[in-house]
Structure 1
């Protein structure tokens, strides 16, 4: 890994520094906008990326209310979050990811993380605007495919029952087989990613296939409601695997 290569983002939120700190410094907070996290009393933790894919880590540095760094003591890879209040209200979050792999494909790895963080920080902004203060039940599903993003989108849109030409701001009804329909608004739409905000929370569907390590997944944030996590995850996982059987 290279300690010199870094991904940096600066995001403004209409939220207090205390709200932003809570969202980036605990397991329940990270689960609100990222993926399900479990964190222990000594700073050890595990993130669930779906489909049995988990990643362990720990808190490497912590300045209460201001700065926290996650990583692994045996690796230069790290995620740093710095929280700063704005004079005119709101909060700036400064984020740095370091420790990218060396090699010819490091640029592809960088791009993959960059677009992923764009979505996740958008999730946090949506949470503060529409669901602030509500607890989250977060579900993640995952599979793999050799298809590219355009072919994945064709299959995803058919499986969700939405127009392939759906755009940001459109009202949609998702009709995934085996799950209740979802009525909402498209709040995120870029190549390879569809995000829908509904009354109960946020639903994200993404896949870059051959352009992104073969992955395709969905993430569901239910705010203020508590669906059966195991049963609902299983239903979404079954739906995803019906469209994209795991391929190695």
Structure 2
């Protein structure tokens, strides 16, 4: 079994019903609302992390409406990593707990930091979805590239090419102008070390780079509007590849 000592736990209170939260963590359509695009693939649930990178898993344990565990069995039939979601109703809100057990490599403490940072962003997406776009369907655009360039250098190039002021803070109004792509207008709703999130009238833009996974990424969510996903994904993948030096 996954080493219980190597676990990561997150907890968030959401302005939604337990039924809404359950839908968001237990189905491909629900996971796509705030995480990465998911779909059913041959009896498994497959997530698209961009740049041709995908990960498939199975529902390992299920208590409908309350608890679900996802994982992909390894060569010995035991999943090296599992993701558990627990849903519990409160007075007018719902508490969601996430527990990740197991990590990919030997340097699990570094992975712990990287996964924790990623989960914080995605769970923020879920909270903001219920706050601003409840009930609306999503179209996802995700682009990812791996790079040998230092993360700080990549991030400086990313913000420069976006036309983003390095001093941007939470709640600042912005208009970003990525080369060759449509402008992005909205408010900064996420800001951290090599992390920038913009909430627009119709969704979210997320940008991130790091030295842990040696990657640069954008995840974008468009709610209740028509978006040409394939064309937009290809355009942003080209843009991200340019940053990575691919």
Residue matched to 1:200: 202
Tell me the distance in 2 between the aligned counterparts of 1:190 and 1:31.
Answer: 23
Residue matched to 2:95: 92
Check conservation: 1:186, 1:194, Cα contact below 8 A. yes
Unaligned runs of 5+ in 1: none
Tell me the distance in 1 between the aligned counterparts of 2:132 and 2:72.
Answer: 34
Q: Where has structure 1 moved over 3 Å in runs of 4 or more?
A: none
Tell me the distance in 2 between the aligned counterparts of 1:148 and 1:133.
Answer: 40
Scaled by the length of structure 2, what TM-score is found? 0.94
DSSP 3-state at the match of 1:163: coil
1:71-125: per-residue Cα shift (whole Å, max 9, x none)? Answer: 0233231000000000x2100001100012463x110011100000000000000
Check conservation: 1:3, 1:76, Cα contact below 8 A. no
Report 1:37-48 matches (<5 A): 37-39=38-40, 42=43, 44-48=44-48
Tell me the distance in 2 between the aligned counterparts of 1:41 and 1:26.
Answer: 15
Tell me the distance in 2 between the aligned counterparts of 1:101 and 1:52.
Answer: 19
Tell me the distance in 2 between the aligned counterparts of 1:150 and 1:4.
Answer: 31
Shift of 1:62: 1.1
Shift of 1:148: 3.2
Residue matched to 1:234: 234
Residue matched to 1:121: 123
Report 1:64-75 matches (<5 A): 64-73=64-73, 74=77, 75=79
Check conservation: 1:51, 1:143, Cα contact below 8 A. yes
Scaled by the length of structure 1, what TM-score is found? 0.93
Check conservation: 1:149, 1:191, Cα contact below 8 A. no
Tell me the distance in 2 between the aligned counterparts of 1:101 and 1:231.
Answer: 33
Residue matched to 1:155: 157
Residue matched to 1:216: 216
Check conservation: 1:8, 1:94, Cα contact below 8 A. yes
Tell me the distance in 2 between the aligned counterparts of 1:72 and 1:84.
Answer: 25
Check conservation: 2:190, 2:198, Cα contact below 8 A. yes
Check conservation: 1:187, 1:197, Cα contact below 8 A. yes
Shift of 1:2: 2.9
Tell me the distance in 1 between the aligned counterparts of 2:92 and 2:133.
Answer: 19
Tell me the distance in 2 between the aligned counterparts of 1:53 and 1:133.
Answer: 28
Matched, 1:19 2:20: yes
Tell me the distance in 1 between the aligned counterparts of 2:52 and 2:207.
Answer: 18
| Number of equivalent positions | 241
Provide the aligned C-alpha RMSD in A: 1.4
Check conservation: 1:2, 1:101, Cα contact below 8 A. no
Residue matched to 2:63: 63
DSSP 3-state at the match of 2:13: strand
Name whichever of 142-151 and 91-100 sits farther off.
142-151
Report 1:74-89 matches (<5 A): 74=77, 75-86=79-90, 88-89=91-92
Residue matched to 2:32: 31
